[in-house]
Amino acid sequence: MPRDEFGLRFQSERETPNTVCFREIRDGESSDALGRPIVGRLYVSKKALAELGAPRRLVVFIRAEE
């Protein structure tokens, strides 16, 4: 059965000069049928993260646009 959206959790992993790299936290809900991550790593600008209070964890929702 197709999903309406994916809700993926990420944990900060390392910083680059202008971004923070987040690693996807895998669990049964956010993995594909073989247990692999859906996104893997996500880079977010430090400026955008500062607006969110510099979180160390993120939740990202992916939904198809029709």
User: pLDDT, tens digit, for every residue of 9-29?
Assistant: 999 999 999 999 999 997 766
> For the whole model, what pTM was predicted?
0.82
How would residue 37 be classed by pLDDT, with cut points 50, 70 and 90? confident
Please give the residue that has the higher pLDDT: either 19 or 2.
19
Q: Which of 1, 52, 50, 8 lies closest to 29 in space, CA to CA?
A: 8
Angstrom distance (rounded) from CA 66 to CA 35: 27
Please give the residue that has the higher pLDDT: either 52 or 26.
52
Question: Strand 19-25 relative to strand 41-45: parallel, antiparallel, unpaired?
Answer: antiparallel
Res. 3: pLDDT tops 80: no
Please provide the DSSP assignment of 3-14 as one string: -SEEEEEEEEEE
How would residue 30 be classed by pLDDT, with cut points 50, 70 and 90? low
Sorted by where each begins, the domain ranges of the chain are: 7-63
How many of the other CB atoms lie within 10 Å of CB of 55?
13
